[in-house]
Structure 1
Amino acid sequence: MPTRSYQGCWTCKRRRRRCDNTRPTCQSCARHGISCEGYEVRLRWGSGIASRGKYTGADKPLEESVPPRLKGRARDLKRDRKAPTSQGQIQGEYDWMVPGSRESLSSQGEKEKEEEAIFNEFMKDGINVLHSTTARESMLQPRLPQLCEESSALYTICLAFQLSLSSTCSPIFLEYFDTSLRKFRSELACSTTLSDGTLTAGLLLCTIGLMHGMPWTMHLEGMHNILQSHGLSDTPPPLDATTSIFRHHLLEVMGVMDISCFSVGRQLVPSKMNRQGSSIGIWRRYCQPSMSRHGVEPVSGLPRSLLDLFAGIGIDTTEQSFWSWSGETGSFMQYYLWEAHRLAGILSLRRHSSILLKDTVACEMIAPSHPKNCSVDATTLVARILANLDALRLACAERPEEDRFIKNAILYPLFVAGLEIRVMCKNVQWQKTIQNCFLGSRQDQILLDLLQEMWTRADPDLNVDDLARERHMEMGLL
């Protein structure tokens, strides 16, 4: 049986005859008197349209006859991304030179303008929320542009902070806050010395958290760990020409934030330095030994000597310490504020002591906190706190330009007075006074909701920190 050949001429293939493959024309065709069609490769399809391969859908084997493929398949989209046409590349490289030539770049330009407007608004107004004193010049404002160059996260955090001042959590704020969080964590992980820019970014991020009930003390711990691992000892050097004044200011802000009575629902892991998980002890360990004990700390609006007492609650501060505090020189409105804080500190000390009394092991530790000759009851203390805050409110209304930011500091005494459940349940009018004193921010609303829950339950043994933790909130009273 002859072997079948697939290499014959086109004529023999069509006639299904055996070809002798003689070139240029086969002898079989010559013997039969038939014109041999040769052996050249032909691009021809029986249906007239290619069904597979490069020329799928074309009616002739030419590039220009290939119809465009419908987009949508993954390999098509991937091919387009990897190998755009030369014309598209040239157009993409020069589109930025023509205003409005591409919608994406136009949107990007509009976004940058919006961000710049938000940042300018923060520099003009939002930054004023960060301090509560009569200080005429902010230490942060003139340094902020340079600090933003040191920290890539700081600029975004400033935008998020300005957006956070709204009474509601808008989607755009949550978007910027999430971006700020990622940038700061990445920057903190790569930081070796913790620059002033990164430290400022972290403190602003903590401020957003304590204003909105979001976790924030973990950032404080992270910054403290880095500072401690790079030369921050328990006895830092005194302020001199080699130590930045602004750096000391940032460290003081950290110390104020860390004071346990200025936070609600704080979730801090206990350690050797912090056995009860209430604070790190930044103020007592770093600020108190190295800074002058005179003058007013600008963020809290309180004298440093009074902050020393607050930082010692649960350690060595007693009621007599608060009663014996001599005060500082200040304005009438500052005296109202400081007196309200001093009396609220006594209530905080008593509340802390009552919690520790439930633990029989701690009874000896808290015995000095209750001087026998002190007979001022909680009702009197609450009345005096509210009287000072009401006087401060009237003074601010009468002289609005004298100290525009002092009302930023009223949250702590206002909230502590509201925590006296027995007193508040007997004096419903005082509840309304507290409600009227809140300024209407989101932070105020969250704190007021906590107080109203406490008043509704009317349980004197209910711990507000436990209530805040049930709601997964960490609040600040700054």
Structure 2
Amino acid sequence: MRNGNRGHLRVFPSHQPTILMPDVPYWANSLGLDPTDFGLFHDFLQNGQRMLHHSSLYCNPIIHHLLPRCQRSMALTAAVLCFQASQVGGVESFAKFDKAMVLYRSMPSAEDITYVLDTGLIICNASMHLGYKWTTLLHRLCCLAEVSLCSNGRGADTDYAKQLEVLASMDFDLWIMGRRTPSRHVWATWCLGGSGIEQITGLPRSLLDLMALSCLGTDISADIRQWITTLMTQDTASARRHIWQACAIATLLHMHTMHFAILSDVDDLTRALKAHIGQFRRALLVDRDLNARQALWPLYVVGKSAVDVDTRLYVKMELEGLGLYGDAESKNWIPAILEETWARTNAGERVTTDSVAIEHGIELGIW
């Protein structure tokens, strides 16, 4: 493992704010990457890293935070390569996963804890794509992050606080299908009351607060409706406002599905959510920096509770239209499980997307 050097970071100019990215040839040479791994890293830079967040391509926390750290950690590098390999599957992806796990488990106790958390977080996402159970590791990472935050200070701008936010948002029950381990409800315990936009989800922290509270089984439907009303009065970029509205409405629908709240206007809410998704989809056509994955969870929420043919067809076509699915099996699980759930409920079975996912041994984060 070699120490990184800012002299080996290159400035990439663009119409977006200036960013720093690792000098790929130097990075590959310094860690002894073969051509295959070099190609995987390049693919991660170009597109794969967008599977880890909902922010724009150029101005995102993965580029600014994670990649320069790869120059200092072989374990983190192995996790990134494992994650990118998991996007296409195959025998090689499992071999890279095994290597990443060996390096992760052997990270010295004196290692900067932020590197341990970064590595574990990437491995969680790779595990999900390869069909392994991963929420057990997430649970351990959340515990570690909580201890680190207590030991190193709870300032909102510290690396520890930011990492805890990322793990806390991943830990939300409402967007994990087939979960086997209980949530620690980290956001509701540690992260409430923040302001601004959380970089990984691309959502306002005030909305994430409400989503976290909904995961506790609390009826906060009135608070969410007030949040939606307030957002409509603010000067917010159109595409962002529409996806935020869609996520807020999806939270209401999720609460209704889980019987945390009894809503009388589900049909109206569903129509409103579909309208916001439509506006967001139109924005995607003209702004290539928008991340289409932001529409995934709201569409899933509509689909998992849909009983009529038209709504189910709408969800199926919208998911296909987002163009998110490909060779990796995990990329096709969401529509596959939705369709199996619909077919079995039509046949009179009492199943949910969660129960179907558990039958298949799948734990899937809807992001």
Q: Which TM class, normalised by the smaller chain length?
A: 0.7 to 0.9
**Does the 8 Å contact 1:347/1:416 carry over to 2?**
yes
Query: How far 1:140 sits from its partner (Å)?
Result: 3.1
Equivalent position of 1:266 in the other structure: 179
Contact 2:245–2:276 (Cα < 8 Å) also in 1: yes
- Pairing of 1:369-380 with structure 2 (within 5 A): 369-370=261-262, 375-377=264-266, 379-380=267-268
Which residue of 204, 219, 236 corresponds with 2:122? 204
Once the two structures are TM-superposed, the CA of residue 448 in structure 1 deviates from its matched residue by: 0.6
- Secondary structure, aligned partner of 1:408: helix
- Matched AA of 1:197: Y
Establish whether residue 184 from structure 1 lines up as the match of residue 71 from structure 2. Answer: no
Instruction: Compute the TM-score of the two structures, normalised by the length of structure 2.
Output: 0.80
Secondary structure of the corresponding residue to residue 215 of structure 1: coil
Pairwise mapping of residues 77-476 of structure 1 onto structure 2 (< 5 A)? 112-134=34-56, 136-144=58-66, 146-166=68-88, 169-187=89-107, 190-191=108-109, 195-230=113-148, 232=150, 237-239=154-156, 244=158, 246-268=159-181, 277=182, 279-288=183-192, 293-313=194-214, 314-325=216-227, 326-327=230-231, 329-353=235-259, 369-370=261-262, 375-377=264-266, 379-397=267-285, 399-401=286-288, 404-423=289-308, 425=309, 427=311, 429-438=313-322, 439-441=324-326, 442=328, 443-458=330-345, 459=348, 461-476=350-365
Residues 1:460 and 1:323: Cα distance change in structure 2 (over 3 Å) = farther
Cα shift readout 1:171-222 (whole Å, capped 9, x = no counterpart): 21121112112322333xx536752211111111112233444211111122
Contact 2:165/2:187 (<8 A) preserved: yes
Cα 1:393–1:201 shift into 2, 3 Å: same
Contact 2:128/2:364 (CA < 8 Å) preserved in 1?
yes
Shift of 1:294: 2.2
Q: What is the Cα deviation at residue 410 of structure 1? A: 1.3
The Cα shift of 1:125 comes to 2.8
Question: In the alignment, residue 273 of structure 2 is paired with which amino acid?
Answer: I
Contact map agreement 2:50 2:57 (CA 8 A) in 1: no
Structure 1 residues 421, 156: CA separation in 2 closer, same or farther (over 3 Å shift)? same
Amino acid at match of 1:237: R
Residue identity in the other structure for 1:430? Y
Q: Which piece of structure 1 moves more, 118-127 or 201-210? A: 118-127
Q: Does structure 2 retain, via aligned residues, the 8 Å contact 1:214–1:474?
A: yes
Q: Which amino acid aligns with 1:463?
A: T
Q: TM-score, normalised by structure 1?
A: 0.62
Which residue identity is paired with 1:352?
M
Please give the alpha-carbon distance, in whole angstroms, between the structure 2 residues aligned to 1:308 and 1:412.
Answer: 17
**What secondary structure sits across from 2:273 in the alignment?**
helix
Q: Please identify which structure carries the higher helix content.
A: 2
Q: Shift of residue 227 of structure 1? A: 3.5
Q: Any unmatched runs of 5+ in structure 1?
A: 1-108, 269-276, 354-365
User: Offset at 1:389?
Assistant: 1.5
Q: Contact between 2:146 and 2:164, CA under 8 Å: does it hold in 1? A: no
How far is the alpha carbon of 1:149 from its aligned partner? 4.9
Aligned positions, number: 327
Amino acid at match of 1:334: R
Q: Is the 8 A contact 2:299 2:319 kept in 1?
A: no
The 3 A distance-change label for structure 1 pair 337 and 145 is closer
Contact kept, 8 Å, 2:117 with 2:145, in 1: the verdict is no
Instruction: Tell me the secondary structure at the aligned position of residue 150 of structure 2.
Output: coil
How far the C-alpha of 1:141 sits from its partner, in A, is 1.9
- Please state how far the C-alpha of 1:250 moved relative to its aligned partner: 1.6
Measure, in 1, the Cα distance between the counterparts of 2:212 and 2:32: 47
Counterpart code for 1:445: N
CA contact (8 A) 1:192 1:226 kept: no
User: Per the alignment, do residues 331 and 226 of structure 1 end up closer, same or farther by CA in structure 2, a change over 3 Å counting?
Assistant: same
Query: 1:426: Cα distance to partner?
Result: 5.5
Deviations 1:87-127, CA, capped at 9 Å, x for gaps = xxxxxxxxxxxxxxxxxxxxxx9962332232233233322
Q: Could you report, residue by residue, the CA deviation over 1:134-162 in whole angstroms, capped at 9, with x for unpaired residues?
A: 48533332444552355331101111122
Q: Is the 8 A contact 2:128 2:363 kept in 1?
A: yes
Structure with greater contact order relative to length (CA < 8 Å, sep ≥ 6): 2
Match of 2:11 in 1: none
C-alpha distance in 1, partners of 2:63/2:302? 34
The 8 Å contact of residues 160 and 177 in structure 1, kept in 2 or not, is answered as yes
Between the aligned partners of 1:445 and 1:150, the Cα distance in structure 2 is 35
SS for the counterpart of 2:70 is helix
The structure-2 alpha-carbon separation of the partners of 1:386 and 1:330, relative to structure 1 and needing over 3 Å to count, comes to same
Structure 1: distance between partners of 2:312 and 2:66: 45
Deviations 1:380-402 (CA, angstroms, capped at 9, x unpaired): 333322222122112211x133x
Residues of 1 paired with 2:121 and 2:131: CA distance?
Answer: 15
TM-superposed deviation, 1:477: 0.9
Distance 1:111 1:145, change over 3 A: closer
Residue 230 (structure 1) shift: 4.9
> What is the CA–CA distance in structure 1 between the aligned matches of 2:283 and 2:149, rounded to whole Å?
46
1:20-35 aligned at under 5 Å gives the runs none
Cα pair distance change 1:212/1:451, threshold 3 Å: farther
Does the 8 Å CA contact 1:301/1:406 hold for their aligned counterparts? no
